[in-house]
A and B are shown apart, each in its own frame.
Chain A
């Protein structure tokens, strides 16, 4: 249904949109109350043509923040993706040749529709949404990112999880030939992350395939990655090749490597410090040399949406 609607939609004139116009579009949408960016003529800034190609068909999604998104440059050159190196610019440097097609995701565990699914099987039934989320790294920096994706819950429901599916476990590709960072045992490869089934089904939880209307760059976790904006960034597992429904809480990679410092939940929480640094404030990327830090918000500002998931849970113990 969504696809039919999309293909009959003749107004996708802004297949080429600059970052500036992306912002203008959002502003325009807010001001006029228009949906889907109807009939907006886009101006292409000279010399930026290639970088600005929008190649994904999207609709505006819910939960977007009004804060100004970080630049394409910042979002795609300042990354933690240890599979491609531990320096912030290593993923940008080392991930360019990474092959993301064909891509298969193995679905297993407590569900009625296990199997191997191609990238297209995973993505094509869903309407892609633009969602501008705050992104808070456990290292106390943050960004605002205009993701493109669809609710993870919509995808998981297609695999018909059974009543024993209490958790979902995700795994990143293990391929040291392509991922030079995996040649050293900095973490316990392959990278593993997990969510409770309620977290996974939460409407904020996004399976991401793009940024700024463009296909996800390799360094940002192509072709498929998770984004849970109320959790620290490392929960957003990248280059996903396995989804498993489990009865028991999975152990995630950072928890395995440093259990005192990183927990299963990893919810953004200004009151619970990392053992080695404060989480009370954060450095918003893009502010230059003279910007002040800003206070970190409980659940990264998404408390209204997610706080009830953790009712009765001691967040100091379950950090």
Chain B
């Protein structure tokens, strides 16, 4: 992949990430035969939330995909995907706070404090904030090794996010279960990869020990 190709591809990916927003726009204004149905606010909140989760899982899929395919340039798209995750989840929250609760702060605070699924969702959004703010090259340089540590928070956020979804549905848990399965696979890959790395390092040590005793 040349730098030029990556730049072109980045534009395409950026546009693709905006597509769900574009579709929502058509639906909001009832264009192209699309619509949000009888309860548009709820529909909007749900769709933005789901797109937030979709982007979160896509972002988490970048590393496994890169390792499995050897396409290292995939990593260059991860920041953009992560920022779109933040964007859709922020829109999800703003639609809830603004359209649904009309920025009625006491009601929103009561929701966050008393409704566990909203507590989870709000925590996930708050944890996303530092990740979005430290996503620039400058911040990456400044934070150095701590940047990587900080950005491991994304795993916590993903857990909170799917749990938030699972807890919100009334009885039909099929859809949140699918998200949980995908997240489990993505996390499982990381755990497995880590375990393999550790084993490889250990056996490398053992080999070198063995070599030392064999050739004193």
| Interface set of A (CB-CB < 8 Å, partner B) | 70, 73-74, 77-78, 82, 86, 88-89, 139, 141, 184, 186-187, 254, 257-258, 273, 276-278, 283, 285-286, 288-290, 292-293
Check if B38 sits within 8 Å of A88, measured CB to CB: yes
The one of A74, A257, A277, A293 that contacts B171, using a Cβ cutoff of 8 Å: A257
Residue of B nearest to A290 (CB): B99
Beyond A276-B167, A289-B44, A289-B99, is A78–B39 a contact (Cβ under 8 Å)? Answer: yes
The one of B40, B110, B171 that contacts A278, using a Cβ cutoff of 8 Å: B110
Check if A276 sits within 8 Å of B102, measured CB to CB: no
Check if B42 sits within 8 Å of A77, measured CB to CB: no
Check if A186 sits within 8 Å of B171, measured CB to CB: yes
Q: How far is it, in angstroms, between the C-alpha of A305 and the C-alpha of B100 when the chains are bound?
A: 32
Residue of A nearest to B110 (CB): A278
Task: Find chain B residues with CB under 8 A from A70 CB.
Answer: 38
Task: Find chain B residues with CB under 8 A from A292 CB.
Answer: 102
B28, B38, B40, B168: most-surrounded residue (chain A CB, <10 A): B38
Task: Find chain B residues with CB under 8 A from A257 CB.
Answer: 171
| Interface set of B (CB-CB < 8 Å, partner A) | 28, 37-42, 44, 99-102, 110-111, 114-117, 167-168, 170-172, 174
Check if B117 sits within 8 Å of A276, measured CB to CB: yes
Check if A283 sits within 8 Å of B37, measured CB to CB: no
Q: How far is it, in angstroms, between the C-alpha of A39 and the C-alpha of B40 when the chains are bound?
A: 39
A186, A258, A273, A276: most-surrounded residue (chain B CB, <10 A): A276
- Complex A-B, nearest 8 residue pairs according to Cβ-Cβ distance, in ascending order: A78-B38, A86-B172, A74-B38, A186-B172, A285-B38, A289-B40, A186-B171, A292-B102
Check if B111 sits within 8 Å of A278, measured CB to CB: yes
Task: Find chain A residues with CB under 8 A from B44 CB.
Answer: 289
Check if A184 sits within 8 Å of B174, measured CB to CB: yes
Chain B nearest CB: distance from A268 CB in Å? 17
Q: How far is it, in angstroms, between the C-alpha of A288 and the C-alpha of B99 when the chains are bound?
A: 10
The one of B110, B168, B171 that contacts A187, using a Cβ cutoff of 8 Å: B171
Beyond A283-B42, A289-B99, A290-B99, is A88–B171 a contact (Cβ under 8 Å)? Answer: no
Q: How far is it, in angstroms, between the C-alpha of A286 and the C-alpha of B36 when the chains are bound?
A: 12
Residue of A nearest to B167 (CB): A276
Q: How far is it, in angstroms, between the C-alpha of A276 and the C-alpha of B170 when the chains are bound?
A: 9
Chain A nearest CB: distance from B209 CB in Å? 57
Chain A nearest CB: distance from B49 CB in Å? 15
Chain B nearest CB: distance from A170 CB in Å? 20
Check if B172 sits within 8 Å of A277, measured CB to CB: no
Task: Find chain A residues with CB under 8 A from B38 CB.
Answer: 70, 73-74, 77-78, 88, 285-286
Q: How far is it, in angstroms, between the C-alpha of A286 and the C-alpha of B41 when the chains are bound?
A: 11
Q: How far is it, in angstroms, between the C-alpha of A89 and the C-alpha of B171 when the chains are bound?
A: 17
Check if A88 sits within 8 Å of B37, measured CB to CB: yes
Check if A88 sits within 8 Å of B117, measured CB to CB: no
Chain B nearest CB: distance from A128 CB in Å? 26
Beyond A258-B171, A290-B99, is A277–B41 a contact (Cβ under 8 Å)? Answer: no
Residue of B nearest to A78 (CB): B38
Task: Find chain B residues with CB under 8 A from A273 CB.
Answer: 114
Check if A86 sits within 8 Å of B115, measured CB to CB: no
- A sample of 11 cross-chain residue pairs with beta-carbon separation below 8 angstroms, ordered by A number, consists of A74-B38, A77-B37, A78-B37, A78-B38, A86-B174, A186-B171, A187-B171, A254-B171, A257-B171, A283-B42, A289-B41
Residue of B nearest to A73 (CB): B38
Check if B174 sits within 8 Å of A285, measured CB to CB: no
Q: How far is it, in angstroms, between the C-alpha of A289 and the C-alpha of B100 when the chains are bound?
A: 8
Q: How far is it, in angstroms, between the C-alpha of A141 and the C-alpha of B45 when the chains are bound?
A: 15
Task: Find chain A residues with CB under 8 A from B117 CB.
Answer: 276
The one of B37, B100, B115 that contacts A276, using a Cβ cutoff of 8 Å: B115
Further pairs besides A139-B170, A278-B115, A289-B28: 18, Cβ < 8 Å: A70-B38, A78-B38, A82-B171, A86-B174, A88-B37, A184-B174, A254-B171, A276-B167, A276-B168, A277-B115, A278-B110, A278-B111, A283-B39, A283-B100, A285-B38, A286-B38, A289-B99, A290-B99
Chain A nearest CB: distance from B211 CB in Å? 59
Residue of A nearest to B111 (CB): A278
Residue of A nearest to B168 (CB): A276
Q: How far is it, in angstroms, between the C-alpha of A77 and the C-alpha of B38 when the chains are bound?
A: 7
Q: How far is it, in angstroms, between the C-alpha of A141 and the C-alpha of B170 when the chains are bound?
A: 14
Check if B170 sits within 8 Å of A283, measured CB to CB: no
Residue of A nearest to B99 (CB): A289
Q: How far is it, in angstroms, between the C-alpha of A201 and the C-alpha of B52 when the chains are bound?
A: 49
Q: How far is it, in angstroms, between the C-alpha of A289 and the C-alpha of B99 when the chains are bound?
A: 7
Q: How far is it, in angstroms, between the C-alpha of A289 and the C-alpha of B96 when the chains are bound?
A: 11
Residue of A nearest to B174 (CB): A184
Task: Find chain A residues with CB under 8 A from B110 CB.
Answer: 278
Task: Find chain A residues with CB under 8 A from B99 CB.
Answer: 289-290
Beyond A184-B174, A186-B171, A257-B171, is A283–B41 a contact (Cβ under 8 Å)? Answer: yes
